[in-house]
Chain A
Amino acid sequence: MSLLIHCPICGRRNGYEFRYGGEDKGAYPAGRSLTPEAWYEYVHANTCSAGVVAEWWCHRHGCGLWFTIFRDTRTNRQVLEHGGRS
């Protein structure tokens, strides 16, 4: 309930204003030679690590921007990449 996200445009906002876009896994793997296994890995396999993860979020109730943040899943707080408080 108390997740606070820094939107690059709108600043500190309540987590409710955002939509979660999954872990940041980079661009979709290249088309033609894509194996079913690789496709599955990309779409469904998540690291779910207890620690700092990179994630996509969309400020859906604000500016609408998609952006990535680092979040410490142990504290549910946004952090700087190296783990400090943002």
Chain B
Amino acid sequence: MDAIPRRRSPVIFDARPDRIRDSGGWRVVQKYADEGRGPYLVDLSHLPRWDLQDSDLSSHFPAGVPVPETIGACAITENVLVSRMNRTQAGIWHLAPGGPGMPDEPAFTDIRENTACLAVLGPQAFSLSEKVCRLDLSTPGHHPPCLLQGPFGGVPCQVALLENRSGREGFVFTFSRGYGRDMVKALLAAGREFGLRPAGEDRMTRMKDDFW
């Protein structure tokens, strides 16, 4: 009938886009005109995210890989992060476009609409995180990629630590979609002193290539 209806992320950045791609109604900013020199705040809300729940998770291979056995552990394959949340639940987050489709099994739920997803990448990412949460992201005890669940910016979040080596810190996190705008406001306010700036989707891909 009509043109493809627009889909909107809960997150709006007050920054000038430099490169945009259109995909199934989403207008995704791949790059902003001035992204600064890090840390970067990247909106990944438009990418697919699935919830997988089953009393036997070992029978599932989301994105082609088994769910990690250890609770809190993550696996990353083909731009897809698979995190083990508890005995019966896993989270599957796409970190870049072009990933596989969701298996047509009842154990999976498409939760992209339920959550917002942001990444904080680059130097001083942990300096930012310690201003908005009590989660200890910087402890050398973590072996990234790994998952932490707890309040971040004052609201419950799932935080996946991607990298914790000094200078190339990075984490990606999801939270209830409705908080999208206040979360971004809080992060940009807390990150102002470190030069935190919005960055496009490509920044995630580039950092990812650096990381792995």
**A and B in contact, CB less than 8 Å:** yes
Alpha-carbon separation in the docked complex, A82 to B134 (Å): 30
Q: Check if B41 is an interface residue, CB within 8 A of chain A.
A: no
Contact at A17–B86, with CB atoms within 8 Å? no
B151's nearest neighbour on chain A, judged by CB, is A61
Query: Is B111 engaged at the interface, CB distance under 8 Å to the other chain?
Result: no
B71 beta carbon closer than 8 Å to chain A: yes
Question: Which of the four size classes fits the interface of chain A?
Answer: 10 to 19
* CB neighbours of A85 from chain B (8 A): none
Chain B hits for A59, CB < 8 A: 149
**Are the C-beta atoms of B150 and A62 separated by less than 8 Å?**
yes
For B152, the closest partner residue in chain A by CB is A61
For A12, the closest partner residue in chain B by CB is B136
A63 touches B85 (CB 8 A): yes
* B contact residues around A61 at 8 Å (CB): 150-151, 156
Q: Which residues of B contact A16 (CB under 8 A)?
A: 151
**Contact bitstring A43-82, B, C-beta under 8 A = 1, else 0:** 0000000000000000111111100000000000000000
A9 lies within 8 A of B156 (CB) = no
A10 & B156 in contact (Cβ 8 Å cutoff): no
By a CB distance below 8 angstroms, the chain B residues around A13 are 150
Q: What chain A residues lie within 8 Å of B86 (beta carbons)?
A: 9, 63-65
**Cα–Cα, bound, A16→B156 (Å):** 12
Minimal beta-carbon separation of B69 from chain A (angstroms): 14
Rounded to whole Å, the gap between the CB of B72 and the closest CB of chain A is 7
Q: Which residues of A contact B (CB under 8 A)?
A: 9-10, 13-14, 16-17, 59-65
